[in-house]
Amino acid sequence: MMGTRCWLEIDLSILRKNWTMIHHLLQPGCTPVGVVKHNGYGLGAIPIARELERLGCPLLSTAGLTEALELRQAGIRAPILLLGPIDPACTSAAMEHNVIVPVVDLEHGRLMDEEARRAGGRLRTHIKVDAGLNRLGVPVLGREEEALAEIEAILALPGLTNEGLTTHISGMMDPAYDYLSLRQLELFRQLTRRLAQRGFSLKAHCESSLPLLAHPEYQMDYVRLTSALLGLQPGYEALGVRCAVQLKTSLLQIKQVPKGSSIGYRMTYTAPRDMTIGIAGIGYGDGLSRSLTTGAKMSVRGREADVLGKLSMSFAVIDLTDIPEAALGDTVTVFGYGEGVPSVQDYAALYGGHACEVTSLLKERIPKVYSQRS
Ligand SMILES: *Cc1c(COP(=O)(O)O)cnc(C)c1O
């Protein structure tokens, strides 16, 4: 791409196909919520939200109010459910822009209730409960009766229109802890049943991408998804879900170095033979992990090229000795898909990271190109 050192390519047609594939997991009554927090995991909240809106996604989600208002400014009209609480002083702004806010406890609910009534309206809310993650929400584990009473008190606040009950669980990366996740899911389900018995009809949701895959029986009314939609969650490959993103740069220079040359800062790599090296235009200043050194790979002309020595702030040195056809200006793929291309998971595994973390940490100024290709 002209004038840019590196860029992201996001194929929205893959996002569309992933959306369709994921629907195979969903029961007729379950609706996906398109979570586009943190600039859509670094891939651009606005274009992704627009595409999700086009796909008929009825509800979007961001972490905070500022992000939600940015979507509104861009013309996104779907209701937006926040994942985190707001400052009660922002209640009327949330009401005005059709933003649904989680109530994290009775005190928080009361403050927003006052503000909503002062503004002469009602704030749309979901009550957030904490079933064992020990993050936001009304704690439930070990105090079920108190939690029920607290929820009922929130439901009685006249300035709030409470539509849902939600929790977020610890996840199941490690099968040894699956029983803990199941305990949280089951505790939440019991709570929704008891509230239903008391006559409250609330939309319930507790699953994000990984829990949905592991325990689809707890999908309830909504599932909140990002990584599955973008193809950043490896388990979904079996369903035909694919990664929608590629990070690319180009070859800025190619040169020969004799055996014994030290490549890069701090003399961490010495050429074991005469080599052809290429300088690629991306570094840790673009948001790559600095632990990406010898051992990592990038891709040139469909072939894997080793990263040599330490990554610097703006550049990476790669081994082109066995790719003699490589030419100045060639595209270098840092991660993506296709023959000889490291996946974002390969990249994340180099430093024990997660694909969502990799894309979220990329600098916002990296240009993003959206295509509708495949
Ligand atoms: C980020 C987030 C999600 C989406 O997570 P994925 O695993 O990427 O689908 C869902 N719910 C909450 C509360 C979140 O914070």
* Distance (Å) from CA 257 to ligand 1 centroid: 47
pLDDT at 136 over 80: yes
Give the pLDDT band of residue 174 (cuts 50, 70, 90): confident
Residue nearest ligand 1's atom 2 by CA = 208
Q: Can you tell me the mean pLDDT for 240-247?
A: 97
Please tell me the pTM assigned to this model. Answer: 0.95
Catalytic residue among 177, 179, 265, 363: 265
pLDDT at 206 over 90: yes
Q: Can you tell me the mean pLDDT for 70-94?
A: 98
Give the pLDDT band of residue 351 (cuts 50, 70, 90): confident
Rg (CA), the chain: 24
Mean pLDDT, all residues of the chain = 95
pLDDT of the residue at 24: 93
37 lines ligand 1 (CB under 6 A): yes
368 catalytically annotated: no
Give the pLDDT band of residue 332 (cuts 50, 70, 90): very high
* Distance (Å) from CA 280 to ligand 1 centroid: 33
Percent pLDDT > 90 in the chain is: 91
Give the pLDDT band of residue 175 (cuts 50, 70, 90): confident
265 catalytically annotated: yes
Give the pLDDT band of residue 294 (cuts 50, 70, 90): confident
CA 222 to centroid of chain Cα atoms:
17
| Residue among 67, 83, 215, 245 whose CB has most ligand 1 atoms within 8 A, to mutate | 83
210 lines ligand 1 (CB under 6 A): yes
Atom of ligand 1 nearest to the CA of 212: 9
pLDDT at 2 over 70: no
pLDDT of the residue at 258: 98
CA–CA separation, 268 vs 135, rounded Å? Answer: 42
pLDDT of the residue at 367: 97
206 lines ligand 1 (CB under 6 A): no
Residue with the bigger pLDDT between 176 and 172: it is 176
Q: Can you tell me the mean pLDDT for 353-359?
A: 94
Could you tell me if 227 and 244 are in contact, meaning their C-beta atoms sit under 8 angstroms apart?
no
Atom of ligand 1 nearest to the CA of 228: 9
Both structure tokens of 358: 């990799």
Atom of ligand 1 nearest to the CA of 227: 8
* Distance (Å) from CA 237 to ligand 1 centroid: 18
Residue holding tokens 């040359």? 261
Enumerate the H helices of 42-80 as residue ranges.
Answer: 45-54, 65-73
Could you tell me if 170 and 184 are in contact, meaning their C-beta atoms sit under 8 angstroms apart?
yes
pLDDT tens digits along 140-164: 999 999 999 999 999 999 999 999 9
226 lines ligand 1 (CB under 6 A): yes
Catalytic residue among 17, 37, 177, 310: 37
CA–CA separation, 332 vs 250, rounded Å? Answer: 5
* Distance (Å) from CA 133 to ligand 1 centroid: 13
Q: Can you tell me the mean pLDDT for 224-252?
A: 96
| Residue among 18, 25, 43, 168 whose CB has most ligand 1 atoms within 8 A, to mutate | 168
pLDDT of the residue at 37: 98
Give the pLDDT band of residue 374 (cuts 50, 70, 90): low
pLDDT of the residue at 304: 97
CA 356 to centroid of chain Cα atoms:
5
Pairing label, strands 160-166, 222-225? unpaired
Residue with the bigger pLDDT between 175 and 74: it is 74
Q: Can you tell me the mean pLDDT for 192-211?
A: 96
